[in-house]
Amino acid sequence: MYKLLSERMHPEPPPNVLIKDQVSTKLRNQVIYVISGHLNNCPSFINTWGLYCNSIDYYNFYNGNNPEEIHNHKTMYNMLKQLDSSDFLDFLDVICDTLLSDPAFNNIGKEFVKDINDVLKTNSMGYAVVGTNVVPITDLGEVEEIIIPSYHTLANAGLENVSKYLDDAYDHFKNCKNQDAILSAFKALESTVESLLINLSVDYSQHQSFASRVELLIQSLSIRGYRVDNINKLVALIKISGEIRNRYSGHGSADMDVVSDDLVKYEIDLVASTILFLTRSYLASKRI
């Protein structure tokens, strides 16, 4: 089949192969377009841009231009086009982390994240905006089917406070603090279990183990279609997150060998999918 010139010049990457070390001109232009559409008149963005420029020594980078030009949009966009790939991704991360943590930005935050993630996805980038961070990903389906829905479902259940632990887990993982990432991921699951028990008015003791609290929650949710033996298997699966935490991020683990990225991703994905399942089951039980 004949391929157009644009297809020959810019071939699509192989399916499921994500790019992590190169930011194309096309992606830069699309990110700039999203920024210009959402943030041009946002004071928080202008302030954040100033902080970012200071962090990378803007004046040396841009040949010592007049400091007043730091907030000139044309100067800003020209600079973004010249940043190397690593600095560009750092810029995007700083912008997301600062603005999405600002309550004043809530009214446009969701649309901004959606548009940025669409750009990253269409360019087959191995990154996504999750919570308030740009995080590395290994599979697009993982983001669309587990990670982002877990945040939305927590919000629907009134458990936004749990999202902070997920944010921390991704932030630690991004900064190569793998033991801290595992610990924060498990805290997200632990907090979800405790919050759902409280919402269901189920009495439990702080001295109870995580496993026993999970069993209480599963029994209280009365998940339809699950036989007792299936529920026992489900509880055993959920307990794996705690076992990973105890082995790799609990007491006595500080001196162990470096924890692999693959194990951290498994823990975060397992926690996110478990949170999604438990919270959806809770919301379904309220509708019965």
Convert the pLDDT of each residue in 40-74 to its tens digit: 656 666 666 665 665 555 445 555 555 455 556 67
User: Which tens digit of pLDDT belongs to each residue from 232-268?
Assistant: 788 888 889 989 998 888 655 554 567 888 899 899 9
Predicted confidence band at 184 (pLDDT cuts at 50, 70, 90)? very high
What per-residue confidence (pLDDT) applies to 122? 87
Query: Which residue has better confidence, 137 or 11?
Result: 137
Q: What's the pLDDT at 14?
A: 47
Q: What is the pTM of this model?
A: 0.69
Q: Residue 254's pLDDT is what?
A: 53
* Per-residue pLDDT, 107: 74
pLDDT tens column, 1-44: 556 666 555 555 544 567 777 888 899 889 888 887 776 656 66
Q: What percent of the chain has pLDDT over 70?
A: 75
What pLDDT does 267 receive? 92
Q: What is the three-state SS of the chain?
A: CCCCHHHHHCCCCCCCCCECCCCCHHHHHHHHHHHHHHCCCCHHHHHHHHHHHHHCCHHHHCCCCCHHHHHCHHHHHHHHHHCCHHHHHHHHHHHHHHHHCCHHHHHHHHHHHHHHHHHHHHCCECEEEECCEEEECCCHHHHHHHHHHHHHHHHHCCCHHHHHHHHHHHHHHHCCCHHHHHHHHHHHHHHHHHHHHHHCCCCCCCCCCHHHHHHHHHHHHCCCCCCHHHHHHHHHHHHHHHHHHHHHCCCCCCCCCCCCHHHHHHHHHHHHHHHHHHHHHHHHHHHC
